[in-house]
Amino acid sequence: MKKVKAVDRHKSALVFLMLCVMILILSPWAKAPSPVSPIVPEPEAEALATVQPVKMQELSLLTVEVGLEEAEFSVLAGQNEAFTLRHPDITVELIRIDPNQAYRIFHQSSQLGDSPDIMLLANEWVKEFAASGYLLPADAAFVGKALAEQFDALTSPLKWNGYLWGVPRSMDPFVLVWNTEWLHEWLGEDAALPLTIEQWSALAIRSSELQGTPSWLTLHPSDPLTLLAWLESVSDERSDGIWSGGNRPWEGTLFEQALSLLEQHRSGITLAQTAEEASRLLQDRETLAAVIPYSIAAAMAAEPRLSSDAKLELDHHAWKLPHVWPRGSSFAISSHSEAGDAARTWIAEMTDISIQLQNMEELNKLPVYRSLYDSDRQLSNLLPGRDGKSFPNQASLIKEPKLPERLKELGVIWNSFAMGDITLLDWNKRWTESIANLQLND
């Protein structure tokens, strides 16, 4: 009996012990985390292997070279500084080169494969650079409605093989500036602009009688666009067709009459090497009229003047022609650039409406957006925004990429003529020879 009772007691103890263990295992508080030290599960090794590192923003380095004078370069430098603040991922090295050497420098660096990412080219150069394989298409740099805003006179030199190879930045056509005191003294108070070729002749004769003091005209002696601007004003005819009108555009035309006037009264012409020199001659009453860029002429007109100062008037009647030379500049992307996306971003922002307005306000450079001329009375008085019959709404007649070479040859002939080294007869002969040589090289 005693043995059985002992066994029962052992069984009861064992059952009790098992029940206690089960209670400990199943109890909710057995796994409750400590309120002081929370339990943070560690990620498994496989999960750690799939975590991706944070991707750093890719940086782009752009080199931009521009042939600008110091004042205009300073404005662009400020615009570029604001751009880099908005785009910390793009570093821009902005370099100024001599404007008079820009074509040679850009052409040479492009040939050597060492050109900057972005070049500021005269519109007349763009098609040649594109045809030579030196540029990338720039269509993607026209953001939003920017392309629809462009004037045909500015975009036609940029088109080649179905693409646009540059983005217009500004334009600065030539304008005639007159000393109206001399004009009215020589032709009478009723004289009104624009003048006929007969009135021009009368002025030249009057200057000759006064032994060329003041001169009756001031021109740059080697810039062909200066000459063409004057010819357009005298003849009221566009000049961009002289290379497509046969070999003799100077014979039996108003252009020939105007050149004959220059030849006969060369002694009364002042040859100024810079626009600044020409403007000084106007202000000092040493010349009757001068052909200078609009930006410089507008700055002169805006200056406060005393009653004793020379009375000057801008004559841009020739801008009513279907086409005059806009003297525009455009940003272009080098075909050697490895930062095309960054270049297009930079160009898009450096040519937008706010930049156009700033360049007009600070530099008197005319904007390239049609809508600005529609909405601004001062601009609409200068040029029509959407009138398809006059400049700058019509494309140039020149379609092929040889324009820089043609202008260079014209500049050489003009310089020889202006310096008195050749006659008008020689001019016609040299012109015919230059046309023949260009046709052989096509």
Q: Averaged over 221-231, what is the pLDDT?
A: 97
Cα–Cα nearest to 170, from 106, 62, 75: 75
Helices (H), 112-151: 123-131
What is the CA angle 123-368-86, rounded to 5? 100
Tokens of 318: 């020739």
Instruction: Summarize pLDDT for 253-283 with one digit per residue, the tens.
Output: 999 999 999 999 999 999 999 999 999 999 9
Phi, psi of 164 (to 5 degrees): -100, 135
Q: Averaged over 215-225, what is the pLDDT?
A: 97
Radius of gyration of the chain (CA): 37
Phi-psi category of 134—alpha, beta or left, where left has phi over 0 and alpha has psi -120 to 50? alpha
Give the pLDDT of residue 334: 98
Separation of alpha carbons 327 and 319, rounded Å: 13
**Strand, helix or coil at 239?**
coil
Q: What is the pTM of this model?
A: 0.85
Q: Averaged over 39-67, what is the pLDDT?
A: 60
Separation of alpha carbons 297 and 275, rounded Å: 9
Tokens of 10: 């052992």
Share of the chain above pLDDT 90, in %: 75
- Exposure string of 253-277, with b = 16+ CB inside 10 Å and e = fewer, is bebbbbbebbbebeebbbbbeebee
Examine the pLDDT at 132 and tell me if it is beyond 60. yes
Separation of alpha carbons 412 and 386, rounded Å: 37
Amino acid type, 292: I
Phi-psi category of 193—alpha, beta or left, where left has phi over 0 and alpha has psi -120 to 50? beta
Phi, psi of 338 (to 5 degrees): -105, 10
Give the pLDDT of residue 55: 42
Give the pLDDT of residue 57: 56
Tokens of 144: 């939003």
